[in-house]
Amino acid sequence: MIELKNLCAGYGGEFKIRDITAAFPSGELTVLIGPNGSGKTTLLRAAAGLLRPSSGAVLLDGLPLKSFPARRAAQKIAFLPQSRVPAQLPAERLVLHGRFPYLSCPRRYRPEDREIARRALEQTGALELATKSVASLSGGERQKVYLAMAIAQDADTVFLDEPTTYLDIHHQLELMACAGRMKEQGKAVVMVLHDLNLALRWADRVLLLQNGLLCACGAPEEMVRSGALSRAFGVRVEELSSSFGPWYGFDTLCPDSHDVP
């Protein structure tokens, strides 16, 4: 399990997240939300060991993450960034890269690695893209392939930075279902989402960031009822009735509104 203890991190000596204490338990989907620039990506990168903390600590199974060799850490933590330069190689080859932490040098894929990669592509609905060059795929298709690579890595904790970007609503819901299956397999899934409805519907726990601080943390409905969401985003939130679970409507605040506590 990844734990953050009073974590501060930033760029060029300037803190962008401060004093963050949180844990990402296995079998839970944690969603990070917050206004633009509030530090969500910075937090995710620091928690995954991709950005050195300025102070505080990231613990992996109770030990400092920095004490783990890179290969061992990669068996424990997968990270899907917001965007990257598309790879000029077939999707199935890219997904196999998720198996690197389990291979010795020189790298030779075993039949089980190929089977894991095939199943990961199947899980994200990208099996038919297996032989296509990643660079030739649409944004949404690429996203599914990169997610398959993260799944093939078979890490205990999976960090996903805005994984629904480029996906249409059908594929967004499929991705959330895929994240749901990962948590059922006992993974800790941690993702940044902008779509508050997706976040509130699927998260077990929501972490709300504002100006680099963790300003609220709890179950989705608590975030709404406490007014934390309204305050952070400056919007009105209303629960709507829907047959497929809680759903919310959002509107801007009137200038003289007293809606927000």
- Quick count: other Cβ atoms within 10 Å of Cβ 233? 19
- Residues 195, 197, 203, 206, CA torsion sign: positive
Query: Using the rule CB under 6 A, is 16 a contact of ligand ADP?
Result: yes
Q: Specify the DSSP element, H or E, that contains 213.
A: strand 213-218
CA dihedral 190, 191, 192, 194 (to 10 degrees): -130
Query: Using the rule CB under 6 A, is 98 a contact of ligand ADP?
Result: no
Q: Which of 100, 98, 87 is nearest to 121 (CA)?
A: 98
Shorter beta-carbon distance to ligand ADP: residue 12 or 261: 12
Minimum distance from CB of 231 to ligand ADP (Å)? 16
Site for ligand ADP in 29-58 (CB under 6 A): 34, 36-42
Shorter beta-carbon distance to ligand ADP: residue 99 or 205: 205
Query: Using the rule CB under 6 A, is 11 a contact of ligand ADP?
Result: yes
Query: Using the rule CB under 6 A, is 101 a contact of ligand ADP?
Result: no
Query: Using the rule CB under 6 A, is 18 a contact of ligand ADP?
Result: no
The residue count for binding ligand ADP (CB under 6 A) is 10
> The tokens of 177 are what?
């279902």
Q: Answer for the pair 159, 48: CB distance below 8 angstroms, yes or no.
A: yes
Q: Which x/- pattern over 201-230 shows residues binding ligand ADP (rule: CB under 6 A)?
A: ------------------------------
Q: Answer for the pair 79, 44: CB distance below 8 angstroms, yes or no.
A: yes
Shorter beta-carbon distance to ligand ADP: residue 82 or 252: 82
Site residues (vs ligand ADP, CB under 6 A): 11, 16, 34, 36-42
